[in-house]
Amino acid sequence: MNILFIGAPGSGKGTQSRELTEKFNFVQLSTGDLLRSAIKEKTELGLKASSYMDKGQLVPDALILDLVQSFITSHSGKSVIFDGFPRTVEQAKSLRKMLESIGQKIDSVIYFKINPQILIDRLTGRRTCANCGEIFHVHTKPSTKGDKCDKCGGELVHRKDDHADVISERLKQFETNTSPTIDYFRETGDLVVVNGELQPDIVFKEIKKSLNI
């Protein structure tokens, strides 16, 4: 099964992907997480990607598609949640082709719909575990261990691109590039819309219902 999670930054894709992979037999492909690992490891991809990510811009399609192709190749036979991919119509069309070439398809596209005003607060208050990727919020979901992760004790960080100036560019990129991608999936009949403003446990139930799991 191949499930796509699409939504603006802070709409809850990462939280829901983690929940689904913990409770069901999915692997998560977060292009954002893979890029951040590449930056940490100072690979060639990381060096190229960081200049775009620091400014809140999208990393060029060619780089992202290589990354996704190698993930698909090394996880064949697994059910995948594509978290934050595709973000352009070009990425969407290429993913379809990649999956078709191995006899698979896109089974569902879940769009996390949310008012942009809510996103600013979610992102500026978001703290992410540098070790396991668990997501917290300083007000709505603080860690009981302060600036350490509840789950693994790792350090909680305020992502460079979760600051107000970069957030506005990320939201702009979403409108320009990802909104047409959502329209593309609406036209292909694959789109399921969930209300990303609801509590995470309610969103989780809606997702499970739409996937019949």
User: What's 178's DSSP letter?
Assistant: I
The residues that are catalytic are 13, 87, 126, 159, 170
We find the least distance from the C-beta atom of residue 166 to ligand AMP, in angstroms, to be: 8
We find the least distance from the C-beta atom of residue 212 to ligand AMP, in angstroms, to be: 26
> Residue 86 or 149: which CB sits closer to ligand AMP?
86
Note the residues at the interface with ligand AMP (CB under 6 A): 9, 31-32, 35, 52-53, 56-59, 64, 84-87, 91, 161, 170
User: What's 163's DSSP letter?
Assistant: S
3 state SS of 156: strand
DSSP 57-95: PPPPHHHHHHHHHHHHHHTTTSEEEEES---SHHHHHHH
Separation of alpha carbons 65 and 85, rounded Å:
10
> Nearest-CB residue to ligand AMP?
32
> Residue 122 or 203: which CB sits closer to ligand AMP?
122
Q: How many residues does the chain have?
A: 213
> Residue 65 or 207: which CB sits closer to ligand AMP?
65
> Residue 63 or 194: which CB sits closer to ligand AMP?
63
We find the least distance from the C-beta atom of residue 89 to ligand AMP, in angstroms, to be: 12
We find the least distance from the C-beta atom of residue 74 to ligand AMP, in angstroms, to be: 18
41-57 b/e with 16+ CB inside 10 Å = b? eeeebbeebbeebeebb
Contact criterion met (CB below 8 Å) for 161 and 54: yes
Contact criterion met (CB below 8 Å) for 133 and 156: no
